[in-house]
Structure 1
Amino acid sequence: MWNGDGTVEVNGFRVFYSEVDIVRKIFERHPETATNIRPKNQLVKNAYMNNLLDLIDTICLAPQELTEEELRDAEKTLLELEEVGFELDWLKRKLKELCVKKKKLESRGARVRELDRMIVEQRQVLLALEAELKNEENEAVFDSARLGFDDVV
């Protein structure tokens, strides 16, 4: 239902017209999401829905785009929404997956840096060995040269 303030009512929440499809999808895929929500005040309900939409936007970001603080804030927001009656097990799983991906990405980054450091060290060792090999080859050429008459006499 269209309200005169640019919002549409979806499952008891007033959302901006641009968010209608997103909110409908949430309720289609997860009809239990707001069945137990306690606040009755429309402004409070709308604020919680905005928090939910912001949380979903955060979870949609790539792990490298998020700081640890943003992930902690997302977890706090999720808990607050659950405390007022939202059923968000589906979203909690996604947030946990995102946290795991973030940790894997960080440890992979550390491993990549370690491997890169090891490669640099090994290149230096290889360059030193190549220089030593060239020196040995030069000395071998010198040692294998025939002596001339003047060298002997």
Structure 2
Amino acid sequence: MSSLMVNEADNKFTWVIKDFSSLQSEAIISDRFLIGGYKWHLLVYPKRTHTNCLILGVATFESLPLREHAKFSVKLVNQISEKSSILREVKKWRVDLEVPLFGVLKLITFTQLHSKDNGFLVNDELEIVGEVDILQAIEGSQEAAQPKKRRKMDDYGTGSSDLHKETRVGNETVDVNGFQVSTSQVASVRCIFEKHPDFASKVRSNNQHLKSSYINVLLGLIETLCQLPEKLSDDDLDEASAAVSYLTQVGFKVDWLEEKLEEVREKKTKVYTGKAQLQHMEEEFKVLNKKCLELKDLVEKQNADVTAANVALSFSDVV
């Protein structure tokens, strides 16, 4: 059970989650709230299998104008000592706001959270307060002038028109199994439906804007998983995991994506540990190679000494 209080005038909110330790859901989603003229909601992931951190996700349902960005400040309240509260912040230029998942924040380790003396869980209640600031981009700002570019998805195939029953809508979007997607996304979405026909069968929303956003989250997640494991940070993987939970909460069956995410995570670990071992072996090789070269020099010198000594004396040398 949770309660959300919003002060729209001050752009602030307070979210209290009760009976936190007994929560069984993979993700807890707050009510939607209006701040800065835009709708938001929060997601907390109380039970994680891959990390020992409490994760907070921030989602929005509307696109900010091109030249605006949002700063989302969140504080995990220490109910015993205010100065021990934990503050986190995420700020993004919202040029590409098709994806509703705004950001993912690591708040605290579960060990610290559940410690009785730390003051973050009092009477099994968790309190999160925050503030949203909508800011204008500065004219000529490099960050505004160069918004983040998204890598294009690979073409996953064309699929069967009988299976998908597509209807072209204007010149920009296509209806694929009830989802309005851009023409550039059609091949990818059709391929997903071919390989996982029932993955969207339990999506509850009839709002086409939200459903399109869900598809963008899905494609963005797949795009992340298609990157080289060594290029992905821990934050990237946490955000991908949060996206999986988010899609699950809105009704998608994405267990196959969760498996792929764990596969990528394992590969990243192997790359990380493998590189560390490789570096260690290279350092050992350099030491051994140096010793070999030194030994080779000694062998050659000794061989020269032996050759020089192994010369018979002549008659005149003896006499």
Is structure 2 residue 251 aligned with structure 1 residue 85? yes
| Deviations 1:17-55 (CA, angstroms, capped at 9, x unpaired) | 121121111112112211111222211111111110111
Is structure 2 residue 242 aligned with structure 1 residue 76? yes
Q: Which residue of 1 aligns with 2:191?
A: 25
- How far 1:143 sits from its partner (Å)? 3.3
Is structure 2 residue 178 aligned with structure 1 residue 12? yes
- How far 1:124 sits from its partner (Å)? 0.5
- Helix, strand or coil at the partner of 2:188: helix
- Helix, strand or coil at the partner of 2:170: coil
Is structure 2 residue 164 aligned with structure 1 residue 3? no
Instruction: Work out which structure has the larger RCO, using CA pairs closer than 8 Å and 6 or more positions apart in sequence.
Output: 1
User: Matched residues, percent identical?
Assistant: 36
1:121 to 271, 281, 287: 287
Question: In the aligned structure 1, how far is the partner of 2:195 from the partner of 2:230?
Answer: 28
1:54 to 184, 207, 220: 220
- Helix, strand or coil at the partner of 1:38: coil
Q: Which has the larger radius of gyration?
A: 1
1:96 to 262, 270, 287: 262
| Deviations 1:99-149 (CA, angstroms, capped at 9, x unpaired) | 111111122212221221121111101111111112222332343344578
- How far 1:64 sits from its partner (Å)? 2.6
Question: In the aligned structure 2, how far is the partner of 1:98 from the partner of 1:108?
Answer: 15
Of Structure 1 and Structure 2, which has the larger fraction of its residues in strand? Answer: 2
2:231 to 60, 65, 69: 65
2:296 to 106, 113, 130: 130
| Deviations 1:63-92 (CA, angstroms, capped at 9, x unpaired) | 233222212211111111111111101111
Q: Which residue of 2 aligns with 1:44?
A: 210
1:140 to 302, 306, 318: 306
What residue identity is the alignment partner of 1:42?
Q
Q: Which residue of 2 aligns with 1:35?
A: 201
TM-score normalised by the chain length of structure 2? 0.44
Gaps of 5+ in 1: none
- How far 1:152 sits from its partner (Å)? 6.8
- Size of the aligned set, in residue pairs, is 153
Question: In the aligned structure 1, how far is the partner of 2:241 from the partner of 2:195?
Answer: 21
What residue identity is the alignment partner of 1:67?
S
- Helix, strand or coil at the partner of 1:2: strand
Q: Which moved more, 1:64-73 or 1:39-48?
A: 64-73
TM-score normalised by the chain length of structure 1? 0.88
Gaps of 5+ in 2: 1-166
Runs of at least 4 residues of structure 1 off by over 4 A? 146-153
What is the RMSD computed on CA atoms of the aligned residues?
Answer: 2.0
